Chains A and B, each alone.
Chain A
Amino acid sequence: MPETLTAPLKTSTGRLLRTEEMVINMGPQHPSTHGVLRLELVVEGEIVVDVIPHIGYLHRCFEKHAEHMTNYQQVIPYCDRMDYLASMNMDWGYALAVEKLLGLQVPERVEYIRVIMGELQRIASHLIALGTYGLDVGAFTPFLFCFRDREGILDLFETTCGARLLYNYIWVGGVSHDLPPGFVEKAKAFCKYFRPNIKELNDLLTYNEIFIKRTANIGVLPADVAIAYGCSGPMLRGSGVNFDLRRDDPYSIYDRFNWEVQVGKGEMGTVGDCWDRYMVRVREMEQSLNIIEQALEQIPTEGDVQSAVPKKIRPPVGDVYVRSESPRGEIGFYIISDGSTSPYRVKARSPAFVNLSVLPEISKGYMIADMIAIVGSVDIVLGEVDR
């Protein structure tokens, strides 16, 4: 922040002007806090002096629900409702944890289906993140373009499992439905259709001078702070940390595909600014397309997707922490089993919850308008923050 903005105001005779800080509530009902986040802002004019986030308006106590289910499969719909923009990845994370607890191997075809669904979901989720981010800085049109493209993905999901938002698709040991006939062709067609649209988005928003002015050098998150605060996903990679769970803590079959981890490079400003976080998402969509196209080529044509679904899940006593890469970062499930048919304790480590905790650190000294840009670049989903 320039010196002149923080210097005390004086009259022409040199007398100090009495100024007052103003406390304003941004949210829980506010157009761009992405849900029911409430930020208590202490502002000096337009400059934000302090930020105190208040969460919990959407708290349903997922963990209590999970303990009270009669079996492990029943938890999955609740996972759906955590990050409702990336339900597939939530289900997958939970299924991975229970499968590890059981020592279960899932069939080849199921792995491919999960990767395809997970990556499609990642694109869908990033599209919302990018679109609403455009909306936050005042560009309306990219938002609708993104939703138009997301529609194609939702249609694919709908043909597969009948749901468009909350799928309950990835089960422990398998998936709920096999791919419908013609899915592979449709998905390929979507990839072909979608690739040029990323360029369109770049032309319209990413490299727009005003957009760059609004996001570059704003909300800079240095790599060491990001790690200390446990940030993950695009938030961490935006700060230049080359770390992706799909590659560095491999799960499922991600080691079979040829793709690259994208990191922020500070092209428009400093490494770890809002523009970098935004751009990492754009580039990740391209990488996800690469993965999907390879998976669609390699997927085995035959196979029962439910052959490994256990009739009754009764894991041995023990605990397990399994993490996977959701669009927002590291979704981890810590499950304690007491040997009964329902979990003794489920703790969900949700990425947005942890990413949001760094907000006060990176937003002091910026203006109210920048505050919006920073919150948008963190890409929170309140369903997951509050659980």
Chain B
Amino acid sequence: MEQLLKTIFENDLFVYVLMAVVPLMWVLPYALFAVWLERKVSAHMQDRLGPMRTGGWHGWAQTIADILKLIQKEDIVPKAADRKLHFLAPFVVFIGSYAAFAAIPFSSAYIGSNINIGLFYIIAVSSLVVVGILMAGWSSNNKWSLLGAMRSAAQIVSYEIPTALALLSIVMIAGTLDLQEINHMQTGWFWNWYLFKKFPFVFIAFVIYSVASLAETNRTPFDIPEAESELVAGYHTEYSGMKFALFFLAEYANMFAVSAIGATLFLGGWNSPFGNFMSGPLWGVFWFLSKGMFFVFVQMWLRWTLPRLRVDQLMYVSWKVLTPWAFACILGVGFWTML
């Protein structure tokens, strides 16, 4: 696609910008939709209806109205805050989440940047989020924010290890870090997906990844950094208006990013589950997004069902449960591939 666009427009820079902006065209409407969906999912799980008025049909315009409201809001910066860091933090967080989209293959025809270390790049770049969160917590000059930021840093750093290890099992089977390549390897019927290969090791790796990715995105039961009943709102307590919305956007973008990686590596990405039936570049987009959205829905489902862990229990889960099992999976997959 990149080559095609280059020949059409004959201007490399323009093409790069275009390629970079395409995921944004998805992320923004998706975030609006996901916030609405979150409200609806939570509402229906809780025996109520959720927003019903704004926009007419099931309150579809509610989040749009909210965004308009947030844009108009005054941007309050605490007097004692470190203004530069306070300003920069939401952008760093959003960039961290958004940069991951560059290497996510939306379809067989489209990937932002088809680099051969795509998976490695995504894991690396999404760590940038921690920096942003720490910046936000520190610069707010609020003890609750600081506590939230500290928790968050500890949590995200710890959970990156089981995440990476779980993904490593797939890399060992595929023998490549190129996400487009990994997709191509899963073409065909759904039993070709990596999820069903080398049973049960990959399946365990998938469970580990799902749990760890919840923690990476700070979602319940791992929403300890922003535990609203403990820390008010954690690192974004002192943010308002559009900067707050940016944190929100980053959270939802992140949710989709981890879901997309899960879908790509374990569920065949843009491949149709039914062999050649309904496959092709455009159907690919459809399958990819539906798989991703399914994971997003599961994340919401868990959020509205489970209570929250405590910070030491969170560390326990990461270091004493997920990490050893992830290692076991790597060993298992490794021996199996050698045989």
Contact = CB atoms under 8 A, between A and B. Distances in A.
A214 interface: yes
B306 A213 contact: no
Interface string B310-326: 11110000000000000
A208 B303 CA distance: 14
B323 to A, nearest CB: 19
A257 interface: no
A211 B143 CA distance: 27
Contact of A213 (B147, B232, B309): B309
Contacts of B232: 30-31
A159 interface: no
B221 interface: yes
A22 B143 CA distance: 9
B230 A210 contact: no
Contact of A214 (B45, B47, B147, B307): B307
Interface string A138-158: 111100110010000000000
B305 A141 contact: yes
A138 B46 contact: no
Interface in A221-260: none
Given A22-B143, A32-B229, A372-B229, A140 B42 contact: yes
Interface size class of A (residues with CB under 8 A): 20 to 34
Contact of A32 (B223, B230, B303, B307): B230
Interface in B248-294: none
Nearest to B314: A369
Contacts of B305: 139, 141, 204
A367 B311 CA distance: 9
Give 6 nearest A-B pairs by CB, closest first.
A138-B308, A139-B307, A144-B46, A32-B229, A138-B307, A137-B307
A30 B237 CA distance: 12
Most buried by A among B42, B227, B230, B304: B230
A138 B304 contact: no
Interface residues on B, range: 20 to 34
Contacts of B220: 138
B235 interface: no
A261 interface: no
Contact of B45 (A30, A134, A141, A211): A141
Nearest to B48: A144
A158 B303 CA distance: 35
A204 B306 CA distance: 8
A135 B46 CA distance: 13
Nearest to A204: B305
A141 B306 CA distance: 9
6 contacts: A141-B45, A144-B48, A148-B48, A204-B305, A369-B308, A369-B310
B216 to A, nearest CB: 18
A137 B220 CA distance: 11
Nearest to A47: B312
B141 to A, nearest CB: 13
B74 to A, nearest CB: 19
A145 B308 contact: no
Contacts of B75: none
B147 A46 contact: yes
Contacts of B230: 32, 368-369, 372
Interface string A62-76: 000000000000000
Contacts of A136: 229
A384 interface: no
Given A22-B143, A31-B228, A31-B232, A214 B309 contact: yes
A372 B308 CA distance: 12
A9 interface: no
A32 B229 CA distance: 5
Contacts of A369: 224, 227, 230, 308, 310-311
Given A214-B309, A214-B313, 8 more contacts: A24-B144, A31-B228, A144-B46, A144-B47, A145-B47, A208-B306, A369-B224, A369-B227
Interface in A199-220: 204-205, 208, 210-211, 213-214
A23 to B, nearest CB: 8
A137 B312 contact: no
A316 B31 CA distance: 71
Contacts of B228: 31
